[in-house]
Amino acid sequence: MHKWASDTFYASLAYVVASFLTFEVLMPLQNVFFPEYPSRASLLFLPHGVRVLAAWLLGWRSIYALLPGVFIVFAFLGGSDVFLPSRLMAIAIAVTTVPAVFYLLKWVGWDLFPRTDRKPCWSCIMGVGVITSFLVAGLTNLVFGSARVEYVAYLIGDISGLFFLMLGLYFAFRFADSRT
Amino acid sequence: MTEISKLTELRKLMQSMERTLGLEQLSPVERDIYYAAEELSKADQEVRTFGLIEHTLVQSVSRPTFFRALKSLVQKGYLSQSGSANRGRYIVHAPR
């Protein structure tokens, strides 16, 4: 029970922090540097990286682990609209797509989940991030009925978000190591 | 999976990225020995040379290469020889 609670706490916290950085820091910068960019979507969407890494580490457990964080972010952005069917559907898509793809790949014989007796494949995780980005962007746009420019922006944001989140984690580990 | 092992898996993933992006400070063999030592040190604080040689990640490495890489890891501070025990026992340190 304690393990489930700590998984949920850390995964949701990571999702909320990544979303805060995306919407309160990166998007204002994006608006300054690309004022002519028409879409309201972020070109560096860090929460996608959290979704991918949480699903890789936790498997199906990432669904409930991320759910509170995703709900908080949707509620923060949309207020009471979070209870609209389209928003609830988008929340479900956000938390289920990535673990579903990892398990689908495992089912077809390409098991990417972490194991102590082998090295993880970074580029494979990025590959899953790209596949799931297509799926999440496609499904979410289906639900919201957004324009094509939004779809492309979601893709760019998700893929760059995953890459820069991993790069950020890498330098965070190096920084932590240098201080111990 | 425990919290510690989740962090270890994340670190291994970052090290895999480090290698792809050319940011690494260790050779592939040194990296494999370090991974193996990290795994083995979870069960025991000290790591034995014999245990390292037998590890899945290191089995294909020749003895001379293994010992050269082990010496290099000690020089770089990733491993240190255990002072209290016999030779052939190492303590694993975080990368610097």
More confident of the two residues A162 and B42: A162
Residue B54 lies in a domain: yes
Chain B residues at the A interface, defined by Cβ less than 8 Å, are: 1, 3, 5-6, 9-20, 23, 32, 35, 39, 56-57, 94-96
Residue B22 lies in a domain: no
Residue of B nearest to A10 (CA): B3
B77: pLDDT confidence band, cut at 50, 70 and 90?
A: confident
Nearest Cα to A133, choosing from A114, A151, A149, A112? Answer: A151
**How close, in Å, is residue B86 to chain A by CA atoms?**
27
ipTM: 0.76
Query: Each residue of A18-69: pLDDT tens digit?
Result: 999 999 998 888 888 877 766 677 888 999 999 999 999 999 999 999 999 9
Say what the pLDDT of residue A120 is.
86
- Which residues span the domain enclosing B68? 27-92
Residues of chain A with pLDDT under 70: 1, 37-39, 146-149, 177-180
* Whole-angstrom distance, CA of residue A44 vs CA of residue B17: 19
* Whole-angstrom distance, CA of residue B37 vs CA of residue B90: 9
- Domains of chain A: total: 1
Say what the pLDDT of residue B30 is.
87
User: A174–B9: do the CB atoms touch at under 8 Å?
Assistant: no
Suggest the residue from A3, A162, A166 to mutate for an interface test with chain B (most B CBs closer than 10 A): A166
| pLDDT beyond 60 at B32 | yes
Q: Name the residue type at position A50.
A: V
Q: Are strands B79-81 and B89-92 parallel, antiparallel or unpaired?
A: antiparallel
Read off the pLDDT of each residue in B60-76 and give the average, rounded to a whole number.
88
- Which residues span the domain enclosing A14? 2-178
Residue with tokens 């494949």: A121
Length in residues, chain A: 180
Contact call for residues A16 and A68 (beta carbons, < 8 A): no
Query: What residues does B89 pair with on adjacent strands?
Result: B48
Query: Each residue of B47-62: pLDDT tens digit?
Result: 888 888 888 888 888 9
- Domains of chain B: total: 1
User: Positive or negative CA dihedral for A15, A17, A21, A27?
Assistant: positive
| CB-closest option in A117, A121, A173 to B14 | A173
Say what the pLDDT of residue B26 is.
78
| pLDDT beyond 60 at B96 | no
Measured between beta carbons, which residues in chain A are less than 8 angstroms from residue B18?
170
Say what the pLDDT of residue A178 is.
65
CATH code, B59: 1.10.10.10
| CB-closest option in A167, A169, A180 to B94 | A180
User: A119–B14: do the CB atoms touch at under 8 Å?
Assistant: no
The C-alpha torsion from B64 through B69 and B71 to B73, rounded to 10°, is -170
| CB-closest option in A120, A174, A180 to B12 | A120
* Whole-angstrom distance, CA of residue A130 vs CA of residue A124: 10
> Which H or E run includes A91?
helix A85-107
